[in-house]
Structure 1
C-alpha cells in the first residue's frame, strides 16, 4: 500500500472558497477512485492562500480484476435488441457470449472481464478530470490553445506523488512534478524545492514559512490574537466568521495589535467593529473593565516583523482611520435625516413585485403587530409604532454600506429621535432569530413586531404560491417559520396561528385575484391549512434534537390544534408517556379497539349514526336533541348498559365514564400526561370485555351497542392525539 500526495499550487485563492474547495477535491477524487475500484484507507485535504491538496493513505498498486456476467435477450430476439445488448456489454458479436438454458427459455449471457488497472493511471485520469471540471464559485480564463486555463486563479504547479514517485499528469500544459513553493518572504534558500512524501512536504513547508492546514492556522491566529490583547490588558471580541476568513489569508499568521484614534469611539460599537471586519479583516477589542469597545484592533499579518509589528500596526491604523471617517460621515447624514423621513422613502423600494413595496409591507406588519400585541403582553400602540419604523433604516446610508447592520442602526436612530426604548429595541430585534444560534426576542413589543413581520412574509409568499421547494428557499421562509415557533415557545405565548394568519390584512385585495368571494374564502382556508402543515414540518425539525419523534408531532397536529405552545407541550408529554408502561398499555388498548372498528367500518358501521339510533330508542317524553352533550353522553352509556348481559360489559361502561371525565378535566388544565394516564386505566376492563363477550354478536342490537361502546374509547383517546399516526 502506498501514499498519494497531491498539491495544486496557484495564485491567491479567495479565503471564502478554500474550505469548500477542500470538500470538492475530496469528493471528486473519492468518487473517481470508487468508480474505478481503487480503494484507499484514508483521504484528508488541506488548503491555504496559494494551494489546495490531499493526501491518501493505503493506496493499492492496482485495482482488482473484475468479472461480470450480464444477462441479455432471449435467443431468437429481434436483431435490434441483440445489437443493443452487445453495445451495452462492449462486445462485437454473439460468439463472445454463452447461452444459458432456463425454465423460461434460452438467453444470451455476456461475460465481461476487466483486468485491473495500474493505480497511477487511475489517479492521473481522476486528477485531470477534477482539475478541468473543478466547481469553483467563480473561475477565470487564462492563456490560449492547449495551455488555456479555467481556474480560480492562474495555476502554476502540480504535485502528484504516488509512493514517492511522480505520476505522469499534464493539465493546462503543466506537467506534474515533485516541486512546491514556500512563503514569499520567509522561504529559506531557494523558494522552490523538491519533496518526497507528505511528511517531508509538510515539514519543509513549515521550515519555509507555510503552516499547511486550516485547523492549525486558525488555532495560531486565535491564540496569538488573545495573547496580544491580554498583554495590553484588553480582551479580543471573537468572531468565528472573521476567524475563518483570515485563516485563508495568511500562510504564516502573526497577530499584531494596532490603535484606533479614540475620537472615533463616539460611533456605535457595531459600526466600528464591522468597518474593520468588512474592509480590513481586523478583529475588534474590548476593555474588560467597562465591557465597551477599546481604541485598539488586531490585525493578522502574513509575516513576522523585525520591529515587533510597529510598522504594520501604524500602516493598518491609517487605513482604519480613513474607513472610520467614511462611517462617521454616514452616521452624521443618517441622524440628520431622521428615521421618520427614512420611513417615508420605503414606498420607493420594492419588497416583491407581487407583494408591493416595503411601505406596503410595513402597513400590513404594523396592523398585525397591533392585533397580536395583547397575546404577547405588549402595548398595541407601541407595537404599531415600532412596526411602522422597523424597516426605515433599510434606506439609510449606513445600512446601504453595511447591510449586516439592518435593525441595529434603526435602534440607534430611534433613540437619537427620542423614541421609547421598547420601540428602539423592537426595531433592532424584529429580524431575530436569524439562525439556530441567534437570540430570540423576548421583550413584548419586540416579540409582537417580530411575529408580525415573519407571519406577514409567510402569508404573503403563500398567497402568491412562492413556497420552498426541495432545498430551494430563496425567501428564507423555513427560517421565518422556525423563528415564529421559537418566539412563541420562548415566551410561552398562546397564539392560535390560524387566527394570526387571517389577521394579515390586504393580501387578497392587493393581489386583486379574479375569483368569487366564495372562491377567495375557500382559497384562503386551504392556504391557511397548508401553511399550518408547513409549521408542523418546521416544528419537527425544531424538536428533532430533543428526540421527539415526527410521528408524535403528526399525531398531535392531526387534532387541528394551531397553538404551537400547546402542540409542543403535548408532543413532549405524549413522547414521554409512550415510553412508560402506562403508555404501552394505552397504545395496546387503543389498537385492539381500532382494529375491530376499522374492520366494521369497511362493512358500513358508522358510530355517529348508530349512537343516534340508540338515543332515539330512549323512552323519554323530552326531545333528547335539546339535551347537553354531557347529558347525551351519559344517556347513551346508560342505554348501552341496560342491554349488557355480562358484568365485564357493565364494568367497561362505568370505567369509560370515569376515564372520560378524568381525561377531559386533565385536558382542560393542559395536563396531557394526566389525561393519558386516565385513559390508560381502560386497558384492563377492555381486555376483560373482549374475553367475556363477542363484539359481533348474533343479536344486532348487542352488536351495535358494543361497537358504539368501543367507538367511545377511540374518541376519548383521539381527543388527546391521533394514535393512528403513531408508528410501531
Structure 2
C-alpha cells in the first residue's frame, strides 16, 4: 500500500432529514462508504470509522486512508491451448482478438503461461492492474453509498442551473471531502467537494464554517457552528440533560423510558437543550396512557413519572435553541400542549357517555377481511372459541363471554379513532366505568397480549382464554384462506400470534392439547381442510423450535422432542430436560442407534404392526430375555411418564441396552416362519412404543 496515509473526512450537507430514519441513514452512509473504500484496498487494517449524522448532515471520518491502493497481479484464463495456438505454436485469430480486447497485442503471446485448469491445458494472461487513486475510489464509494442508503421516500428536485434533476432523500447543498487538509476532487448530486459547511440554523457563531482539516471537523462544528455532529454523542447529551432536568423538576421524578422517541429527538435537534414544562393538574383525570401518547407522538415531549410510575403534570422538552431566558420556549410549548390534552379529555368524556355494549352492534359495519367478513362476525367466532376453551380449562364462562363480546368495542370510540395504539387499554377504562367486573375489564385490555417479544402475558384466566381465542381465530381464519407468511412478509403478524399462543400455553402451564385448541378454533369456520390444518400446526411447531433454539437447546434435542408433536406444550421443557439427562447416560448412544434400527425395520413392513407378543413363540434366549426385561422396564417407564417425571421415564430405559444389543446380535427378525416373524415384529413394536413416549430417541443417534 502507498506509504502516504492520512485521515479522511466526508460530509454531505442537506436540508432537514427525516428524524425517525436519521440513525439508520447515518449508519448506512458511514458503513457503506467505509466498506467500499476497504474493498478497493484504500484502507489499512486498523483504519477507524467515526460516523456523523445530524438533522442537516451525513458524515464520516476514517483514519489511515491511503492516497493510492497497491497494484494488483491479475491472472486471466483466455482459452484452451488447443484453441489459442495452431499446430505450429502460432497465435490463432481467436487468441489475437482476445488479447486485443485486453489492450495487448501479438507480442504478449510469448509471455502467456500454460497451466492446467483441471480439464485441459489453458492459456493464462498475467497482468498488473494499477491500484485505484483515492479520488477514483472515493468517487465510486460516494456513488455506491448514495444508491444504497435506506431512504424511506426519495425527493426529486432541480439543481441551481434549472435544468438538471436529482433524486435524494432531501435537497443537498454542500459536499466536503478532506484528506488531511487537502480537498479530494469528487462530486455527487451536482455538488463539487470543498471545505465549507454550515452550523446551527440560529446559533452558529460563524457562518459558513470552513473546515481546516479532516481531524478538526467535530471540534469546529461545536465551537463555531454550535452543532454536535455525532448522533451517539448528541443522544448521550440528551440523556444526560433529561436526567439532570428530571432531578431539578422534583424528587424521584424520571422521564419516560422510550428508545424510539430518544432516537427521534436526536434526529430533530443539532444542539439539544432540555427544559421543563407543565400543564394543569385537572388533565390528570384522563387515563395517563392517553396523555403520555399525545405528548410523545404529537409533541415529542418526555412525560415525567413519579416513583410509582404515575404521570405527573410536568414534562421535558428537548429544544434546539439555548436562549439566556428559556421562559419563552417553555411558555410556547405549554401553550401548544394544552389543546392536545384538552382534545384527549374531550374524547374521554364523550366516549364515557355511551356504554361499551352499545357499540358492539356497530362492529357489523366494520370490514375485517374481504374473505372473512366483518369485525362483528369475527367477534362471534372469537366468542364461540373462547367458550369452548373456557369449558376445557374450567374458567368462568359468563365472564369469558362478556370479555370476548366487548373486546373490540373500543375500536369505535373517539379516543381509539385518534390513537389506535390505545385499543384494549381504553376498553378496560370504559368497562370499569360501565361497572363491569375487574376480571372482564382486565381481559378486554389483555386479550391483545403478548403484543411483542418479551411483553407481559394476560394477568388473569379470563384474559388468557380470550387472548388465546382471539389469536387462534386469526391464525385459523387466515390459514384457511391461504394467507400464509412467506419469507420476511407477514402482514397479519401471524408469527407474533403463534408465539403468543405458545407463550400462554407454556408459561401458563395450561392443561390443554394443541390439537384440541385448533379443533375448537376451527368449529366456527366450518371445518378447514387437512392441508391448511397441517400447515398451521407445522407453523406453530416451527415457531416453538425457533424459541427453544434461542433458549439454548440443541437442534438434536429439539428434534427428538418435537418429532412426537407433544400435545401439551407446557410439558416440552421437562421433556427436553429428560432428553438431555438421557443423552448423558453411557447407554444412550447404543439405545438411540437401536431405536433408529427398529424404526427402519417397522417402516418397511406393510400395514400396521400390533405391539403384542406371544411368549410361546419366543424361541431364542435373546428374544425371551428382551421380552422379560421389557415387561419389567415398560411399567416403570410408563408409571414415571404418567406422573410427569419424564427424566425417570427415559432413564428406566437404560436397562434395555444389554438385551437389545443381544437381540440384534442373535435373533433374525425376518424369519421364514410367518408366525415367528410377526411375533418378533410385535416385540420390536412394543419396544418402540415403550422407548418413544417422551421423545423420539432415534433422533439422538449420531
Identify the match of residue 480 of structure 2 among 447, 463, 469. Answer: 463
Tell me by how many angstroms 1:115 deviates.
2.1
Q: Does 1:333 align with 2:350?
A: yes
Question: In structure 2, do the counterparts of structure 1 residues 601 and 277 end up closer, same or farther at CA, with 3 Å as the change threshold?
Answer: closer
Question: In structure 2, do the counterparts of structure 1 residues 93 and 695 end up closer, same or farther at CA, with 3 Å as the change threshold?
Answer: farther
Q: Choose 269-278 or 585-594, whichever is displaced more.
A: 585-594
Matches within 5 A, 1:549-628: 549-578=554-583, 580=584, 582=585, 585-592=587-594, 594-595=596-597, 598=600
Identify the match of residue 22 of structure 1 among 23, 26, 42. Answer: 26
Tell me by how many angstroms 1:135 deviates.
3.6
Q: Does 1:277 align with 2:282?
A: no
Tell me by how many angstroms 1:138 deviates.
1.0
Contact 1:586–1:679 under 8 Å retained in 2: no
- C-alpha distance in structure 2 between counterparts of 1:351 and 1:135, whole Å: 32
Tell me by how many angstroms 1:314 deviates.
1.4
SS at match of 2:635: helix
SS at match of 1:224: helix
Q: What's the C-alpha RMSD, in Å, of the aligned pairs?
A: 3.2
Contact 1:536–1:553 under 8 Å retained in 2: no
Query: Could you say which residue in structure 2 is the equivalent of 1:643?
Result: 619
1:141-185 Cα shifts (integer Å, max 9, x gaps): 221466533222221111222344221111222111222222233
Tell me by how many angstroms 1:406 deviates.
0.9
Contact 1:160–1:166 under 8 Å retained in 2: yes
Query: Could you say which residue in structure 2 is the equivalent of 1:615?
Result: none
Structure 2: gaps (5+ residues): 85-92
Question: In structure 2, do the counterparts of structure 1 residues 90 and 347 end up closer, same or farther at CA, with 3 Å as the change threshold?
Answer: farther
Tell me by how many angstroms 1:575 deviates.
3.4
- C-alpha distance in structure 2 between counterparts of 1:727 and 1:471, whole Å: 34
Question: In structure 2, do the counterparts of structure 1 residues 85 and 441 end up closer, same or farther at CA, with 3 Å as the change threshold?
Answer: farther
- C-alpha distance in structure 2 between counterparts of 1:87 and 1:683, whole Å: 70
Contact 2:577–2:647 under 8 Å retained in 1: no
Question: In structure 2, do the counterparts of structure 1 residues 723 and 169 end up closer, same or farther at CA, with 3 Å as the change threshold?
Answer: same
Contact 1:676–1:720 under 8 Å retained in 2: yes
Query: Could you say which residue in structure 2 is the equivalent of 1:142?
Result: 157
Identify the match of residue 91 of structure 1 among 75, 98, 102. Answer: 102
Q: Does 1:48 align with 2:65?
A: no
Question: In structure 2, do the counterparts of structure 1 residues 192 and 148 end up closer, same or farther at CA, with 3 Å as the change threshold?
Answer: farther
- C-alpha distance in structure 1 between counterparts of 2:546 and 2:662, whole Å: 41
Q: Does 1:719 align with 2:697?
A: no
- C-alpha distance in structure 1 between counterparts of 2:168 and 2:437, whole Å: 54
Query: Could you say which residue in structure 1 is the equivalent of 2:324?
Result: 306
Identify the match of residue 683 of structure 1 among 642, 646, 657. Answer: 657
Q: Does 1:546 align with 2:548?
A: no
- C-alpha distance in structure 1 between counterparts of 2:548 and 2:99, whole Å: 49
SS at match of 1:504: helix
Identify the match of residue 130 of structure 2 among 106, 115, 134. Answer: 115
1:650-680 Cα shifts (integer Å, max 9, x gaps): 4433222222121111111221111111112
Matches within 5 A, 1:388-467: 388-467=405-484
Identify the match of residue 202 of structure 1 among 199, 206, 218. Answer: 218
SS at match of 1:67: strand
Query: Could you say which residue in structure 1 is the equivalent of 2:90?
Result: none
- C-alpha distance in structure 2 between counterparts of 1:677 and 1:132, whole Å: 60
Tell me by how many angstroms 1:2 deviates.
3.0
Matches within 5 A, 1:458-497: 458-497=475-514
Q: Does 1:58 align with 2:64?
A: yes
- C-alpha distance in structure 2 between counterparts of 1:463 and 1:141, whole Å: 44
Contact 1:376–1:444 under 8 Å retained in 2: no
Q: Does 1:127 align with 2:142?
A: yes
Query: Could you say which residue in structure 1 is the equivalent of 2:640?
Result: 666
User: TM-score when scaled to structure 2?
Assistant: 0.89
Question: In structure 2, do the counterparts of structure 1 residues 386 and 164 end up closer, same or farther at CA, with 3 Å as the change threshold?
Answer: same
- C-alpha distance in structure 1 between counterparts of 2:662 and 2:691, whole Å: 19
Query: Could you say which residue in structure 2 is the equivalent of 1:527?
Result: 532
Tell me by how many angstroms 1:137 deviates.
0.6
Query: Could you say which residue in structure 2 is the equivalent of 1:292?
Result: 310
1:248-305 Cα shifts (integer Å, max 9, x gaps): 11222121111111121111111111111111111111233x6532111111111223
- C-alpha distance in structure 1 between counterparts of 2:558 and 2:294, whole Å: 45
Question: In structure 2, do the counterparts of structure 1 residues 377 and 25 end up closer, same or farther at CA, with 3 Å as the change threshold?
Answer: farther
Tell me by how many angstroms 1:27 deviates.
4.6
User: TM-score when scaled to structure 1?
Assistant: 0.86
Question: In structure 2, do the counterparts of structure 1 residues 376 and 284 end up closer, same or farther at CA, with 3 Å as the change threshold?
Answer: farther
Tell me by how many angstroms 1:196 deviates.
0.7
Question: In structure 2, do the counterparts of structure 1 residues 698 and 311 end up closer, same or farther at CA, with 3 Å as the change threshold?
Answer: closer
- Number of matched residues? 680
Contact 1:433–1:440 under 8 Å retained in 2: yes
Contact 1:551–1:727 under 8 Å retained in 2: no
1:406-442 Cα shifts (integer Å, max 9, x gaps): 1111111111112211111111111111111311113
Tell me by how many angstroms 1:189 deviates.
3.5
SS at match of 2:529: helix
1:571-614 Cα shifts (integer Å, max 9, x gaps): 34323543x2x1x522322204534773x569x656965xx6xx
Tell me by how many angstroms 1:391 deviates.
0.8
1:196-227 Cα shifts (integer Å, max 9, x gaps): 123x1112222242223222222222222222
SS at match of 2:587: helix
Tell me by how many angstroms 1:478 deviates.
0.3
- C-alpha distance in structure 1 between counterparts of 2:283 and 2:26, whole Å: 40
SS at match of 2:430: helix
Tell me by how many angstroms 1:45 deviates.
2.0
Question: In structure 2, do the counterparts of structure 1 residues 471 and 86 end up closer, same or farther at CA, with 3 Å as the change threshold?
Answer: farther
- C-alpha distance in structure 1 between counterparts of 2:43 and 2:635, whole Å: 66
Contact 2:78–2:98 under 8 Å retained in 1: no
Tell me by how many angstroms 1:547 deviates.
0.3
- C-alpha distance in structure 2 between counterparts of 1:398 and 1:349, whole Å: 17
Tell me by how many angstroms 1:24 deviates.
2.3
- C-alpha distance in structure 2 between counterparts of 1:706 and 1:150, whole Å: 77
Q: Does 1:12 align with 2:30?
A: no
Query: Could you say which residue in structure 2 is the equivalent of 1:518?
Result: none
Q: Does 1:371 align with 2:388?
A: yes
Query: Could you say which residue in structure 1 is the equivalent of 2:370?
Result: 353
Structure 1: gaps (5+ residues): 510-520, 613-631
